Amino acid sequence: MKLKDVVLGLALVVVAVVGVNFPVNGETIVEKTVSAVVGPEVFNHMYFYEGLTDGGNSVTVTPTSGAVTLTNAQLVKAKVVTFTASSTMPALTATLPASTTFPLPNKAGAYRTWVIENPFLAAATTTTIAAGTGVDLQEPDGQNVVINITDFAFLTCFRKANSDVVCAVDETIPAD
């Protein structure tokens, strides 16, 4: 262990034990403690006073035919999934990964969202979301799982207690 790591660790302990005053919305909140988050899991409730931005990565999938299976590697690092646009692409079916390889922790209640884009311009080029094995697709309000040209769908998924996955596909339409 290096000296700088020891000093940094001691500094965090002092801040966590002593506490720090934080101004929030013009008021000072007294004695809010600060601590470091070590590792990818947080077991305490967290407050984000100034908001939270989630995501930031996108992936472009290049289908070679009218069907493509999305992979764990594509979905785990992206929040937006799009496809290489083509004026000659037939209608596309994008199948989600099976529940055994789905990019969610294998814990009941694990939850994640993606945006799926249909960038195609030809009128017949819809993108249909299909379920992988162990994935239950739902649509929230009488729609379907087909994304029309130049539209988007929000894919919201969670893991069930039996390790299967439920995903809601909510297509948006232009409002302007």
pLDDT, tens only, 44-77: 788 888 888 877 799 999 888 889 999 999 999 8
Question: Residue 130: which H helix or E strand, with range?
Answer: strand 127-130
Could you read off the pLDDT of 89-127 as tens digits, one per residue?
788 999 999 999 999 999 999 999 999 999 888 777 899
Nearest to 173 by CA among 145, 158, 153, 144: 153
Q: What is the pTM of this model?
A: 0.73
Q: What is the distance between the alpha carbons of residues 67 and 87, in angstroms, rounded to a whole number?
A: 16
